[in-house]
A and B are shown apart, each in its own frame.
Chain A
C-alpha cells in the first residue's frame, strides 16, 4: 500500500495546490517526486510536531497538504498539532500513515499504533479510510485530496485477497437473509471475518470508510445482533453503531485490538492470533456471542 501511495501521490502532485509533507519516513521513495516538484515535497526531518504545524501553515495559504509518516509518530506524537494547527485553524489536511496496529510487531510497543483511529475520532468531521487492498488506495487518496476537509488514510501491510473499490458505504459480501446477525468488517480484516462465519448464518458487510460511518446502511442491514470487527482498537466504532441503532433493541459485540501492552514481538499474524482477530479467534468470539442469544430465544 505504501508503494501505491507514493506513486499516486506523485500523480496528485501535478496539481500545484498539493504539497507532500514528510518527516524522513518514506523520504527516499519520494525523492523522484521531490526532484520533479521542488518546493512541494517538504521533508522537515524527524520533526513530527513541525510536520503537522507546517501542514497547517500550508493550508492557511490555500495549499492542500498530504502529511505522511509512521502511524504512532503521525497521530500520537503530534496529536495536539492535529487538534490545534489543523482543526482549530479551520483548515484541513490529508494524513496518510503506514505501520498500522502491529504491522511492525517485531519493533515493539513504540511502533504499534492500534489507537490511531480512536484518537482521530476525538475530532469532528474527519473522513477515515482504512483500505483493505493496495488497489483501493489510489481512488481513496484522490478522493481525500480532492475534498476540502480533513482525512486520515490508514495504510497497512495486512490486506485482503481482493480489492473492493468504492465510496465506502457498507457493502454486503455475504447475505444470510432477513433477521440474520450482521457482522461489519472494516478494511483488511474482511477475509478473516468471512472465513470465521463461512458456515454460520451471519450476514457480512464491509467498509473501508469507517468515518463518516454508513449509519443508514447499518440501519437497513442490522437485525438484533451486530458484530463489529475492526483492525484497530476494539470498540472504536461502537459509539457510532450504538448511536445509529439507539432506537432499537440490539446487542453489539465489538472486536478489535486489545488495550494491553503485550510486550511480545513476533509477526503481525502472531498478534492477530493473540488479539483474537484471526479466523479461529473471530469464530470463537462470534459463537460465544450468538449462543446465549439462541438459548434465550
Chain B
C-alpha cells in the first residue's frame, strides 16, 4: 500500500500554479510542501483506492490554511482530478481556502480553525486502538503558532500520559508564533512523555528518518524547522 513514487517537483509546482491562479501564497504554504511530499511519497500508507479502508494511515491537516500545497499534492497523487484545482475557492469549486472532508476525497478532516486537528487525531488513534487496528498510524500536521491554542496542550498532555503510540504530530516550525517557543517546540511534547525529533524541514532524508523514528510505545512528534525566509 505504501506509495514510493517520488513526486516530480516540476509537476507539483505546475499543479500549485493552477491553484495559485496569479495569487501569491505566503510562507504557510511554501514551508509545508516538503513535509507533504515526504509524507505522501514515503510514509503514509494510503492511495486513492484506499481512502475508505479502515486500516489506512490517517493524515490530518490541522493547519487548514496551508491547503494549497495539499490540494496540489492530492492531485499529483490522483486523489482528486487535476481540473478541480482550477477555480479553487470559487462558487463551483469543491476546494475551499480551508479543506472540507465531505467534499474532497482523501481529506480526513475539515479544518481551518486552529487547534482542532490534534484532538481529532487523538480520538482517531483511540478509535483505531479500540477496534484492535494496530497497523495504521495517525499523523497530524500543525503549525508552531497553532501550538498557542490551549486545545493542543490538552491533547499533548493526554496523549503522552496514555502512551498513545499510534499518533505522530508534525509541527511545521516557521517561527510564526507571536511569542515564540523558547527551547523549541519539541520540549512542549517531551515533557509530557512524547518522543521527539527536530529536523530541517527542507531535508527530505532527515524528515523521512524522523517521521519513521517512533518507538510504537509513545506518541511521537517531528518538529520540521523552516528558517530560509519562508
Which residue of A16, A47, A84 contacts B113 across the interface (Cβ within 8 Å)?
A84
In the assembled complex, which residues on chain A have CB atoms less than 8 Å from the CB atom of B130?
A: 16, 19, 39-40, 58, 63
Assembly CA distance A52 to B155 (angstroms): 11
Within 8 A of A (CB), among B87-141: 100-102, 108-110, 113, 115-116, 118-131
Interface magnitude class on chain B = 20 to 34
Residue of B nearest to A90 (CB): B102
Do A61 and B127 have beta carbons less than 8 Å apart? yes
In the assembled complex, which residues on chain B have CB atoms less than 8 Å from the CB atom of A62?
A: 54, 127, 131
Do B102 and A85 have beta carbons less than 8 Å apart? no
Asked if A81 CB lies within 8 Å of chain B CBs, one says yes
Within 8 A of B (CB), among A48-70: 49-50, 52-63, 65
Assembly CA distance A232 to B45 (angstroms): 49
Residue-wise, chain B 197-230 has the 8 Å CB interface mask toward A (1 for contact) of 0000000000000000000000000000000000
Contact of A84 with B108 at beta-carbon distance under 8 Å, contacts A19-B127, A50-B122, A90-B101 already known: no
Residue-wise, chain A 14-32 has the 8 Å CB interface mask toward B (1 for contact) of 0010010000000000000
Contact of A57 with B125 at beta-carbon distance under 8 Å, contacts A49-B154, A50-B154 already known: yes
A83 to chain B, nearest CB (A): 9
> Which residue, of A16, A40, A49, has the highest number of chain B Cβ atoms within 10 A?
A49
A256 to chain B, nearest CB (A): 31
Asked if B158 CB lies within 8 Å of chain A CBs, one says yes
Residue-wise, chain B 156-179 has the 8 Å CB interface mask toward A (1 for contact) of 011001000000000000000000
Report how many residues on chain A are interfacial, defined by Cβ distance under 8 Å. 30
Residue of B nearest to A63 (CB): B127
In the assembled complex, which residues on chain B have CB atoms less than 8 Å from the CB atom of A44?
A: 154, 158
Asked if A88 CB lies within 8 Å of chain B CBs, one says yes
B63 to chain A, nearest CB (A): 14
Do A88 and B110 have beta carbons less than 8 Å apart? yes
Which residue of B102, B126, B161 contacts A57 across the interface (Cβ within 8 Å)?
B126
Asked if B26 CB lies within 8 Å of chain A CBs, one says no
Asked if B150 CB lies within 8 Å of chain A CBs, one says yes
B161 to chain A, nearest CB (A): 8
Do A39 and B120 have beta carbons less than 8 Å apart? no
Do A61 and B124 have beta carbons less than 8 Å apart? yes
Assembly CA distance A47 to B155 (angstroms): 9
Residue of A nearest to B131 (CB): A61
Asked if A287 CB lies within 8 Å of chain B CBs, one says no
In the assembled complex, which residues on chain B have CB atoms less than 8 Å from the CB atom of A88?
A: 100, 110
In the assembled complex, which residues on chain A have CB atoms less than 8 Å from the CB atom of B161?
A: 45
Residue of B nearest to A61 (CB): B127
A161 to chain B, nearest CB (A): 41
A230 to chain B, nearest CB (A): 31
Assembly CA distance A84 to B149 (angstroms): 15
A184 to chain B, nearest CB (A): 36
Do B123 and A60 have beta carbons less than 8 Å apart? yes
Residue-wise, chain A 227-256 has the 8 Å CB interface mask toward B (1 for contact) of 000000000000000000000000000000
> Which residue, of A47, A53, A55, has the highest number of chain B Cβ atoms within 10 A?
A53
B127 to chain A, nearest CB (A): 3
Asked if B190 CB lies within 8 Å of chain A CBs, one says no
Which residue of A53, A58, A65 contacts B151 across the interface (Cβ within 8 Å)?
A53
The 30 sampled A-B contact pairs (Cβ below 8 Å) are A16-B131, A39-B126, A39-B129, A47-B154, A49-B115, A49-B119, A49-B150, A49-B154, A50-B119, A50-B158, A53-B116, A53-B122, A53-B155, A54-B120, A56-B119, A56-B120, A57-B125, A57-B126, A58-B123, A58-B126, A58-B127, A60-B123, A61-B128, A62-B131, A85-B119, A85-B120, A88-B110, A89-B101, A89-B109, A89-B110
Give 9 new A-B contacts, CB below 8 A, not counting A54-B126, A84-B113.
Answer: A45-B157, A50-B158, A53-B116, A60-B120, A62-B131, A63-B130, A85-B116, A90-B102, A90-B110
